[in-house]
């Protein structure tokens, strides 16, 4: 499947699914639209993504969440077990000292 669309403004966006828990199971990510005439000079650019991570796949969590017997949670959404940085379990981030600032 391929989607074609026009973007009228540069920037950082994200895509994600709203179907049966596909978003928490990983169907999400960044979209970066760059302009050819950038007004600033910079050495490097990267996108850092952060996201919730559940230790169970979403279909089983949805069954518990939508159950009429969900008295233990009071109908609340399940809380994530972990945080994903870069949407991976083994992301490594280097820190560089730049004067008085730390750039990541």
Is the per-residue pLDDT at 102 higher than 50? no
Is the per-residue pLDDT at 104 higher than 50? no
77 exposed, middle or buried (CB, 10 Å; 0-12, 13-18, 19+)? exposed
Domain positions in the chain are 11-103
Q: Taking the model in full, what pTM does it have?
A: 0.59
Residue 89 confidence (pLDDT): 59
Q: pLDDT confidence of 75, banded at 50, 70, 90?
A: low
Residue 5 confidence (pLDDT): 85
Is the per-residue pLDDT at 99 higher than 60? no
Residue 103 confidence (pLDDT): 45
Q: Which segments of the chain does DSSP mark as H helices, in order?
A: 58-66
pLDDT in tens, 14-71: 888 888 778 777 788 888 888 888 777 777 777 888 888 888 888 888 777 776 666 6
Tally: H helices and E strands in the chain = 1, 6
Query: Pairing relation of β-strands 28-33 and 11-16?
Result: antiparallel
């Amino acid at each position: 499947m391929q989607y074609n669309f026009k973007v009228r403004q540069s920037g950082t966006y994200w895509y994600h699914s709203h179907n049966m828990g596909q978003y928490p199971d990983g169907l999400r990510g960044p979209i970066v639209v760059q302009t050819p005439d950038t007004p600033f000079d910079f050495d490097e650019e990267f996108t850092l993504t952060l996201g919730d991570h559940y230790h169970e796949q979403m279909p089983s969590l949805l069954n518990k969440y939508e159950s009429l017997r969900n008295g233990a949670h009071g109908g609340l959404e399940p809380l994530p077990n972990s945080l994903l940085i870069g949407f991976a379990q083994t992301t490594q981030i280097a820190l560089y000292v730049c004067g008085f600032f730390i750039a990541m």
